[in-house]
């Protein structure tokens, strides 16, 4: 199973490290609830529910409503979006590379932006645009219109029918929410729970030492602190928690070491990123993996 969208911060390349940082006895847990409040393209979700059959309940969330509508549509019945995607794909790939494809892309983008949220076709258009736009980014202007330019891939794989049907089956035990990450926590029960939290990246470094209120990606340092406080609450309830982010320093002080300084373990791993909006000349991007249990690596 593969994600049905490319997503900024997607974790396909980090899966091995995530695996290595799971609780040592994770295989032996029974009736596990898996929680992912920043699900994005779902690379970790699909890997986990495919591999660990002891996960009997999964709860996912993201703040992006079109993305979440796509998950819900694929869970409910993907056949109508597959039909539309087939039409879009054959028309697009039948065009010459260059201006004809570009023109088609912008027509699809205009149509997508004019569609109502409830429109059945919107999810199919979203998936098409995701695979044909620049770097698979999702960005909207101030009017809420998708504005990423054409991507110019020679032979983009826009969707794979079998994969979408496999995702449909896999999503049957998954509860899907749309909203702020904090909303998801009210639906947790008493079962053994593992949470994987992958919030938007904090920039590699900031010029100021003070916590900043707002970030270009809409996720501020206050949100990072809010998230940490929720982790503390669920940590005290016995949940096992893993958080990943981009390593980040203010005046050579690690932001995440300063924040997660009460019994969490922080490991650094190297990554190559497909989409790295915060590339810095000074520091090679590194991922931090934070756990509220001893990492099997260091035992």
Ligand X SMILES: C[S@@+](CC[C@H](N)C(=O)[O-])C[C@H]1O[C@@H](n2cnc3c(N)ncnc32)[C@H](O)[C@@H]1O
44 forms part of the interface with ligand X (CB under 6 A): yes
Supply the minimum distance, in Å, between the C-beta of residue 162 and ligand X: 21
| Segment contacting ligand X by CB under 6 A, of 8-16, 90-98, 232-240, 249-257 | 8-16
Supply the minimum distance, in Å, between the C-beta of residue 62 and ligand X: 5
Cα–Cα distance between 210 and 177 in angstroms, integer? 33
Among 4, 7, 249, 264, binds ligand X (CB under 6 A): 7
Supply the minimum distance, in Å, between the C-beta of residue 79 and ligand X: 25
Among 34, 122, 198, 287, binds ligand X (CB under 6 A): 198
Among 60, 73, 200, 235, binds ligand X (CB under 6 A): 200
**Beta-bridge partner residues of 241:** 195
Supply the minimum distance, in Å, between the C-beta of residue 184 and ligand X: 8
Supply the minimum distance, in Å, between the C-beta of residue 90 and ligand X: 28
219 forms part of the interface with ligand X (CB under 6 A): yes
Distances (CA, A) of 208 to 145, 225, 250, 254: 32, 17, 7, 13
**Beta-bridge partner residues of 286:** 270
Of 38, 10, 14, 245, which is closest to residue 136 (Cα–Cα)? Answer: 10
Cα–Cα distance between 26 and 276 in angstroms, integer? 31
H-helix segments, the chain: 15-20, 43-51, 65-76, 79-93, 99-114, 121-132, 161-170, 221-236, 255-259
Counting residues that bind ligand X (by CB under 6 A) gives 20
Alpha-carbon torsion (224, 299, 235, 273), positive or negative: positive
Cα–Cα distance between 55 and 70 in angstroms, integer? 22
**Of residues 23 and 41, the one with the C-beta less far from ligand X:** 41
38 forms part of the interface with ligand X (CB under 6 A): yes
63 forms part of the interface with ligand X (CB under 6 A): yes
Cα–Cα distance between 288 and 169 in angstroms, integer? 32
Q: Which residues of this protein are in contact with ligand X, per CB under 6 A?
A: 7, 9-11, 37-38, 40-41, 43-44, 61-64, 180-181, 198-200, 219
């Amino acid at each position: 199973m593969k994600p049905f969208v490319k997503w900024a911060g997607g974790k396909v390349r980090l899966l091995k490290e995530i695996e290595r940082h799971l609780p040592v006895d994770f295989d032996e847990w029974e009736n596990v609830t898996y929680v992912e409040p920043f699900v994005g393209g779902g690379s970790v979700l699909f890997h986990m529910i495919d591999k660990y059959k002891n996960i009997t309940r999964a709860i996912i969330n993201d703040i992006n409503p079109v993305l979440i509508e796509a998950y819900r549509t694929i869970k409910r019945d993907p056949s109508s979006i597959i039909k539309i995607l087939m039409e879009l794909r054959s028309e697009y790939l039948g065009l010459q590379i260059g201006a004809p494809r570009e023109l088609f892309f912008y027509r699809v983008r205009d149509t997508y932006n004019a569609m109502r949220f409830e429109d059945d076709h919107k999810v199919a258009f979203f998936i098409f645009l995701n695979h044909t736009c620049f770097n698979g980014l999702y960005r909207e202007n101030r009017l809420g219109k998708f504005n990423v330019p054409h991507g110019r891939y020679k032979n983009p794989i826009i969707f794979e029918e079998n994969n979408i049907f496999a995702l449909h089956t896999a999503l049957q035990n998954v509860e899907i929410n749309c909203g702020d990450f904090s909303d998801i926590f009210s639906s947790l029960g008493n079962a053994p729970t593992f949470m994987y939290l992958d919030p938007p990246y904090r920039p590699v470094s900031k010029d100021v030492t003070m916590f900043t209120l707002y970030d270009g990606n809409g996720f501020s340092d206050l949100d990072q602190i809010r998230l940490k406080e929720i982790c503390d609450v669920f940590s005290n309830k016995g949940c096992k928690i893993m958080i990943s982010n981009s390593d980040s320093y203010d005046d050579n002080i690690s932001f995440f070491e300063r924040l997660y300084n009460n019994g969490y373990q922080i490991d650094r791993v190297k990554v190559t990123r497909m989409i790295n909006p915060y590339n810095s000349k000074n520091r090679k991007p590194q991922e931090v993996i934070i756990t509220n249990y001893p990492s099997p690596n260091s035992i």
